[in-house]
Structure 1
Amino acid sequence: MTRTDSPGPAPFDIAVVGLGILGVRHITAETTDVIRRCSRVFLVDATFGVEEHLRTLNPNVTSLLHLYGLGKPRLGSYQSMAAAVVSAAVEESPVCFATYGHPQMYCHPTALIRNAGKLLGLRVDVLAGVSSLDTLLIDVGYDISAHGLQIYDATDIVLRQRPLQNDVACVLWQTTTFADPTFRLAVPDAERLSRLRDHLLRFYPPEHRVFVVFSRTHPALEPVVTGHRLSHLAEALSSGPQSGTLFIPPVHSRPATDSQIIEVLRDAYQDGP
């Protein structure tokens, strides 16, 4: 689908946009243009100042945060969010669904909206936003080009007994909602989180240092990166804030073993530019 900045009908019925992590400062020019041309904006973001800013771009902003309920399955909330957006698009397109972070990273309403759009013949356009992975790499100072990166959901690695490579850095999402499909304001207790810790101990030594990362959500704040021994992870997560992403540095570096590629690289460096 080709987007256009010229006046006229929007090239979509539903736009799904990501608002980034750092509040208003992460909202892209592309997202701003889309929000301005929509009849309604549905918002899932509690970051300070974001809703007020969006209302300066479009007065018809509706927060969907009330659809979360304590102890309520998150899937039901996501379905209600998607239904509200799609229903509005049928009546008065174009509309916008605006969410915290990146709309294709831990944002199930995006998939639901896309699927409904196909069934109803609605044009759905998804725009990228700054993700929590982008900010995490800055917060921990890690460049993926040297040794790569493995990324998993915390519940999924235990559910599927996924193996991990301890020579590659690892990012685990949703650690404090481990094995819990409901919306809660409290983290699981250490007993439940011990299953996640025990799975990680199959691949990493107990003394290996891992980091819980909270990227800043306001310019006046600083990111919070706290280190813990892996053996103490369950207790650390259960006594900390309700959210956070786990970064596990590699234990060691895997040696290069392909002699042909080694020779090619050595010759290139010796010959120079």
Structure 2
Amino acid sequence: MIKNSDSKLKSKLNLETGSLTIVGTGIQLVSHLTLGAKAWIEQADKVLYALADPVTAKWLKELNATAEPLPYNRNNQWRRQTYQEMTEKILTEVRKGLNVCAVFYGHPGVFANPVQAAIKQAHREGFRAQMLPGISAEDCLFADLGVDPGRNGCQSFEATDFLIRRRKFDPTSPLILWQIAMVGNLGFYKPEEQFRPLTILTEVLKTHYGGDHEVIVYEAAVYYPVCKPVIQRIPLSKLPQSSVTEVSTLYIPPQGLAPVDKEMMARLGMSFVKEATGELRPDKYFFRHI
């Protein structure tokens, strides 16, 4: 962290006096917070936060007495307006010449518009700004569902974006859709309005997988081990009737294996093995000697 007294160094780097470091708390209360993130919180001149639980907020205030919450949705205002207010609050403190640490839930760069906006604006104004990674809900999903993205790849989209942009995807690779309860919603979460959007999402997915394909409605465990992760295994056709909240994620397992391109394997000098199912899979550990 650059201290206010290091004026010569700042002048050499052409930096303004304030700085911004953005960290993530991870998903499970304070247990996912890294030692590096904790150190930045403790040393900051000012701490601002946007968190999902009061326990972590209380803990932050014990680490640094300057900690205060960022502005959140009031009177059902648009999320974009809330994000703009958060960004401006962060930059206001940095412009005072303070070393600011902004703390966000999960990974600070995932579904956190104010983070990206604040860092870009800080850089434009000549301030030092950085983001430290945190454990995301996707990391928890990989662990809880036993998903290895290195095996069949992994596709990840925000649910509304997935629909309105007609995203291309491969059904033989796992598909993750975020914020399924917020499809088409630019404001507050309204559970009474989610059935129709989920029905539309289901209709689109059924054209690729069929209604009987098993999918998983997933929620990471925040209060682990007191509470376990939510893992609802259901047929795709039952998605509109499932129990979904604003933090629910949809995981769709792959439908079969992608075919092997024998010509490409030959060009790469690779061999293949036939599995018990009859499927051909590249033997990653065997290369034909040339």
**TM-score (normalizing by structure 2):** 0.84
Counterpart of 2:223 in structure 1: which amino acid?
H
Corresponding position: 1:244 with 2:248: yes
| Alpha-carbon shift at residue 263 of structure 1 (Å) | 2.4
Please tell me whether residue 143 in structure 1 is matched to residue 148 in structure 2. yes
Q: How does 1:102-251 map to 2 (within 5 A)?
A: 102-186=107-191, 188-219=193-224, 220-236=226-242, 239-251=243-255
Residue matched to 1:79: 84
How far apart in 2 are the matches of 1:211 and 1:266? Answer: 30
Which residue number in structure 1 is paired with residue 98 of structure 2?
A: 93
Tell me, in whole angstroms, the C-alpha distance in 2 between the residues paired with 1:70 and 1:132.
28
Does the CA contact (< 8 Å) of 2:271 and 2:286 recur in 1?
A: no
Question: Which residue of 248, 255, 261 corresponds with 2:259?
Answer: 255
- Aligned match of 1:67: 72
CA drift at 1:213 = 0.6
Whether 1:46 and 2:52 are equivalent positions in the alignment is: yes
CA gap 1:85/1:267 in 2 versus in 1, 3 angstroms: closer
Match of 2:15 in 1: none
Cα distance in 1 between the residues matched to 2:208 and 2:260: 21
User: What TM-score do the two structures reach when normalised by structure 1?
Assistant: 0.89
Distance 1:130 1:189 in 2: 28
Q: Is the 2:155–2:174 Cα contact (8 Å) retained in structure 1?
A: yes
Counterpart CA distance in 2 for 1:267 and 1:173 is 32
Residues 220-242 of structure 1 deviation map (CA, whole Å, 9 limit, x = unaligned): 21111001211121222xx4333
Q: 1:227 to 1:8 in 2, by over 3 A?
A: farther
Q: Secondary structure at the match of 2:139?
A: helix
Q: Which amino acid aligns with 2:101?
A: C
- Structure 2 vs 1, CA of residues 251 and 8 (structure 1 numbering), >3 Å: closer, same or farther? farther
Tell me if structure 2 keeps the 8 A contact 1:153–1:172. yes
How far apart, CA to CA, are the structure 2 residues paired with 1:266 and 1:46?
45
CA RMSD of aligned residues (A): 2.4
- Residue 57 in 1 paired to residue 63 in 2? yes
SS in structure 2 of the partner of residue 71 of structure 1: coil
Mark the CA change 1:266 to 1:137 in structure 2 (over 3 Å): closer, same or farther.
closer
Number of equivalenced pairs: 265
Contact persistence 2:181–2:189 (CA under 8 A): no
What SS does structure 2 have at the residue aligned with 1:54?
A: helix
In 2, Cα distance between equivalents of 1:187 and 1:243: 15
Q: Please tell me whether Structure 1 or Structure 2 has the larger radius of gyration of its CA atoms.
A: 2
Moved over 3 A (4+): 6-12, 264-271
Q: Give aligned-pair identity as a percent.
A: 25
**Which secondary structure does the structure 1 equivalent of 2:188 belong to?**
coil
Q: CA–CA distance in 1 between the matches of 2:238 and 2:50?
A: 34
Contact 2:181 2:246 in 1 (8 A): yes
Match of 2:30 among 24, 27, 42: 24
1:266: how far off? 5.0
Helix, strand or coil: the match of 2:208? Answer: coil
**Cα deviation, residue 255, structure 1:** 2.9
Instruction: Give unmatched runs, 5+ long, in structure 2.
Output: 11-17, 273-281
Distance 1:252 1:18 in 2: 36
Separation of aligned partners in 2, 1:189 and 1:199: 16
Change (3 A) 1:167 1:266: closer
**2:250 partner amino acid:** L
Asked which structure has the greater RCO (Cα within 8 Å, sep 6+), the reply is 1
SS state of the match for residue 191, structure 2?
A: coil
Deviations 1:141-162 (A, max 9, x none): 1111110101111001111111
Distance 2:144 2:212 in 1: 22
